[in-house]
Amino acid sequence: MTGTGRAGTAAPIAVGDHAPDFSLKDNHGRTVRLADFRSGPAGHDGGGEASGAGDRDLDGKNVVLVFYPFAFTGVCAGELGALRDALPAFVNDDTQLLAVSTDSIHTLRIFAEQEGLEYPLLSDFWPHGQTSRAYGIFDEDKGCALRGTFVIDRTGVVRWSVVNALPDARDLDQYVKALAAL
């Protein structure tokens, strides 16, 4: 399932496309790269600064990449809390959950602490919305990401996606079904 472009945004990347790579800071200031979760030899992306992936193995991990508009808002807190409550389905030997917003790392750190979120919250703050734009879900009028979710396989290919408007929460069960299909 793929959403369509909305006013103020480009069309989201499509199922079957290679997911755009990124390098973002998490709520603890660590660099997380999508490439670090791909299968293949560790360090194939040129090495450099330590990432949130740690010592990954050759098998890589599937990634559930969840974009959300803003920390400390009702719908976002509800969605991210539901992911927290079902965390073993999204953070395990096969899968890594990454949540992205255009909030600063400082805001994300406090939000994670307040909400008890123990998975990486990534900051797409500067250059503002660069990763959200690469995925075609940045709302230029509002200056934030839409509610986009991308299930990316170990080779870096998007296998499932959904994009909702800002007020519309996503269905967590759809993520679980998409992962089961990999």
Estimate the crossing angle of helix 172-180 against helix 74-85, to 10 degrees. 40
For residue 139, the SS3 value is strand
Any catalytic annotation for residue 144?
A: no
Quick one: how far is CA 43 from the chain centroid?
21
Whole-angstrom distance, CA of residue 148 vs CA of residue 169: 10
Of the candidates 76, 97, 112, 117, the residue annotated as catalytic is 76
Buried-state track 24-50, b at ≥16 Cβ within 10 A, e below 16: bbbbeebbbbbbbbbeeeeeeeeeeee
Catalytically annotated residues: 76
